A and B are shown apart, each in its own frame.
Chain A
């Protein structure tokens, strides 16, 4: 069975400082991994996805994530936080060939001025 664990339910950073949102996964198969962002009362937007072409994945809005198989991690990072980054972030996994996404419980990012 596949699952994801988001290690922090809340993360607070100051504007202009780095962001790190942690995610560990477990999967019996070669997984597909995604990060989605959800702004208040909005739908979900795909930030980036791991396609196995490269372990360092670049996404939108300056976010990137590194797939580390040895650590079963897929942490999301951004060098400098912006106020507009405040949102809920979900790490998502699906084993190759399975149809549905399995979501982590989410990390709420707060950005202080």
Chain B
């Protein structure tokens, strides 16, 4: 059973370009979470999705960022018109269902490291 798969592992974009980050959850998991880790900081929650639904996007910047988790295929985090401040590691986690409560462990991918030049 493969773990959470994120690709690409490293992504370099010029300012103004678009970045698309992909996350395939573990088999059987229908809940996906995206987190951002700035250098020397902890992870910050961005968005929580189930298949075809955004459940909680309270951590998403209001502009340029969007996320989806279609019925088929991976979850996508999309950043339009990237700026230098978007440079960070973006982690995806998945869980089998329900909230990330004490009884539901979240499994993390290895992250995508975005560098904006």
Contacts and interface: CB of A to CB of B under 8 A. Distances in A.
A42 B91 CA distance: 10
Q: Is the interface of B mostly helix, strand, loop or mixed?
A: loop
A27 B107 CA distance: 23
B86 to A, nearest CB: 19
B70 interface: no
Range of interface residues on A (Cβ < 8 Å): 20 to 34
B103 A100 contact: no
A3 B101 CA distance: 15
A43 interface: yes
Interface string A18-43: 00000000000000100010000111
B69 interface: no
B62 interface: no
B111 A43 contact: yes
Contacts of B41: 105-106
B101 A97 contact: yes
A83 interface: no
Interface string B102-117: 1101111111000000
A96 B110 contact: no
Contact of A44 (B55, B91, B100, B101): B91
Interface of B: 3-4, 33, 35, 41-45, 48, 55-56, 58-59, 91, 93, 99-103, 105-111
Interface of A: 32, 36, 41-46, 49-52, 90, 94, 96-106
